[in-house]
Amino acid sequence: MVADAAQQLVISACYPDPYADIDETLEDDDELLPDSLDCSYACACAVAGGMNWRTAAEVDVEARRSFWLWYLNEAIPSALRG
């Protein structure tokens, strides 16, 4: 899953579709993936082993929580400090 997330991150960075979010012909939000996902969310899903709609028994909830605590308490402040 981590490799898939990394691959999608590179693809999204290299080939973004800036008009995907305003395409009125889309019938399903799944058509917007992966470009519609925030990178931090994709990373949290990779760390947890699944997306939010998976049951707690199917993912590592503690790993997801640890990621978000690190992201909020360390990554963002570090980025803001420059």
- pLDDT (tens digit per residue) in 14-43: 776 666 556 677 777 677 777 778 889 999
* Angle, alpha carbons 75-67-61 (nearest 5°): 165
CA nearest neighbour of 41 among 77, 19, 82, 12:
12
Ramachandran angles phi, psi of 73, nearest 5°: -90, -25
- For a pLDDT cut of 90, what percent of the chain falls above it? 45
| Residue-range definition of the domain harbouring residue 70 | 2-81
Closest CA to 33 of 7, 58, 12, 59: 12
Supply the pTM of this predicted model. 0.64
Task: Give dist(CA 4, CA 10) in Å, integer.
Answer: 10
Q: How many domains would you assign to the chain? A: 1
How many whole angstroms separate alpha carbon 78 and alpha carbon 51?
26
